[in-house]
Every structure is written in C-alpha cells, then in structure tokens.
Amino acid sequence: MPITKETVAHMAVLARLDIDDATQERFTRQFADILSYMEVLGGVDTEGVEPLYSPVQHSDASREDAACNRRTREEVLRNAPEQDGQYFIVPRIV
C-alpha cells in the first residue's frame, strides 16, 4: 500500500494532530522509507531460525523454591511502632 499525503492527513486526523503541508510531505517520505525497509526485512530467508523474544541472551536467575526462616519473630517486631510481642498492632479500619 503506497503512502500518500492523503494517507498521512487521515492518520493525523485519527491521531488528532494538526500538521502542516511540509510535515505531511516529510511524514509521507518517512513512512514510505519505513515500509520499504519492512519489505526488505520480509524478504530475508529465516528458514530454520528460531524466533527470539529478545536479542540478548538471558541467564536463568531462578533459585530453588525452598522455605526458610531468615529472621526471627523478635527481629521482625523489633522496629514496629506498636506490637504485643507476637503481632503488629495497627489502627482498626472499618
């Protein structure tokens, strides 16, 4: 589909943009360049190439899901504004 000034003007209306004629001309050229490059990319042979979700190799940063106590109850409650020795005391919200 060729990009024309009318197409760019229609996209500007849809995007609620007020663009002048010079900007319409520039966008027409830029959109045409982008679409022609997409055609070049579409012609690349990708047979046997596995799709990627990212071009960067990511290592698995997972750890084993094992339960462990890292802090005691006393350590957790030590800096609480209010506590009764077992639980946090918070204002009642009704």
CB 31 within 8 A of CB 3: yes
Q: What is the pLDDT of residues 53-77, one digit of tens each?
A: 888 887 777 878 888 878 888 898 9
pLDDT at residue 32, rounded to an integer: 93
Candidate ranges 32-36, 69-73, 90-94; pick with highest mean pLDDT: 32-36
Domain boundaries, the chain: 5-42
Average pLDDT over the chain, rounded to an integer: 89
Enter the pTM of the model: 0.49
Is a pLDDT exceeding 90 seen at residue 20? yes
* 79's tokens: 């800096």
Q: What is the pLDDT of residues 38-51, one digit of tens each?
A: 999 889 998 998 88
- Residue 21 to residue 34: CA distance in whole angstroms: 20
